[in-house]
């Protein structure tokens, strides 16, 4: 399959990169349309941040933030992904007929499985070293991280399939940044291991490195908006290593990078 780009749209107060910028429905919808025009194949909407310093958001607030944007994008035939770890919000999103559900907890709530099995949405199943919803700061030995990811997906895929959820609806996200622990090398180890993950499960992989702190720490860049070059380098590497979906704040830059890479790989003149 060709690479699919998800444009990140945070309708939140405290997302690490752009919290507060798109809380107003008109601002969120304008940003969604910009991302779609800039190369995003899917708009990934999140209304509750999962960064380590974020605060809890009630399910009704998540839904209220996303509802007008989901309705407008659906009416415009723009594919929608809803990024939420709340079972209540997930049930709402299924009722709206969204194309994708994206869960940083990897759909760990069995009470939702019957509804998931009856729906058509594709499921982005994310691994995280944390038990909770937020990217709690946990130190993990990078030498162990790939085995942890493999073990998690073995267990979670089996649970979802046993509940009647078709395997071909699943997309695997190994997690990045704090979701893999506080040691930056863990994220690089998982990126290098993408071919092994594909071989192990024969399922599409999604990677989300955009503006993350492990890249900024490596390069010495402070703010998220300074991480564009590092983000693009990691995204292109992920594409080369077999990622099928990339979730990004800047689909235009990634699309341009992919076009140049494809030209360079063409026949020599």
The Cα 168–Cα 143 span in angstroms is 30
Overall average pLDDT of the 58-83 stretch: 96
Q: Does 135 score more than 60 pLDDT?
A: no
User: What percent of the chain is predicted at pLDDT more than 70?
Assistant: 93
Taking alpha carbons only, the member of 233, 198, 252, 192 closest to residue 5 is 252
Q: Name which of 4-18, 38-52, 129-143, 236-250 the model is least confident about.
A: 129-143
Residue 90: CB atoms within 10 Å: 25
The Cα 224–Cα 239 span in angstroms is 21
Overall average pLDDT of the 151-171 stretch: 98
Cβ proximity of 184 and 150 under 8 Å: no
| Joined tokens for residue 263 | 């030209």
Q: What is the DSSP string of 25-71?
A: HHHHHHHHHHHHHTT-SEEEEESS--STT-----HHHHHHHHHHHHH
More confident residue, 75 or 224: 75
Scanning 165-212, the segments in alpha helix (DSSP H) are: 185-192, 194-201
Overall average pLDDT of the 131-150 stretch: 84
Taking alpha carbons only, the member of 122, 169, 127, 183 closest to residue 151 is 127
Confidence of residue 29 (pLDDT cuts 50, 70, 90): very high
State if pTM tops 0.95.
no
Q: Does 80 score more than 90 pLDDT?
A: yes
Cβ proximity of 249 and 18 under 8 Å: yes
Q: Does 5 score more than 90 pLDDT?
A: yes
pLDDT number for residue 20: 74
Overall average pLDDT of the 55-65 stretch: 92
Residues marked active site are found at: 212, 247
Q: Does 268 score more than 70 pLDDT?
A: no
pLDDT number for residue 19: 57
pLDDT number for residue 266: 81
Q: Does 269 score more than 80 pLDDT?
A: no
Overall average pLDDT of the 105-129 stretch: 97
pLDDT number for residue 53: 65
């Amino acid at each position: 399959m060709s690479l699919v780009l998800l444009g990140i749209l945070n309708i939140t107060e405290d997302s690490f990169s752009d919290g507060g910028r798109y809380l107003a429905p008109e601002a969120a919808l304008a940003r969604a349309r910009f991302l779609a025009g800039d190369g995003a194949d899917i708009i990934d909407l999140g209304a509750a941040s999962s960064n380590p310093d974020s605060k809890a958001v009630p399910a009704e607030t998540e839904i209220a933030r996303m509802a007008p944007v989901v309705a407008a994008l659906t009416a415009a035939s723009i594919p929608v992904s809803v990024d939420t770890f709340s079972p209540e919000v997930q049930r709402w999103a299924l009722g709206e007929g969204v194309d994708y559900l994206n869960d940083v907890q990897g759909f760990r709530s069995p009470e939702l499985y019957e509804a998931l099995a009856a729906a058509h949405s594709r499921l982005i199943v994310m691994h995280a070293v944390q038990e909770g919803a937020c990217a709690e700061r946990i130190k993990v030995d990078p030498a162990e991280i790939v085995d942890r990811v493999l073990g998690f997906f073995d267990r979670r895929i089996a649970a979802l399939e046993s509940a009647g959820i078709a395997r071909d609806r699943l997309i695997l996200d190994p997690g990045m940044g704090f979701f893999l622990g506080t040691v930056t090398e863990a994220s690089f180890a998982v990126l290098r291991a993408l071919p092994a993950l594909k071989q192990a499960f024969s399922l599409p992989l999604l990677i989300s490195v955009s503006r993350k702190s492990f890249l900024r720490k490596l390069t010495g860049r402070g703010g998220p908006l300074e991480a564009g070059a590092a983000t693009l380098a990691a995204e292109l590497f992920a594409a080369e290593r077999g990622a099928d979906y990339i979730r990004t704040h800047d689909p235009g830059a990634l699309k341009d990078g992919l076009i140049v890479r494809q030209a360079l790989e063409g026949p020599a003149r």
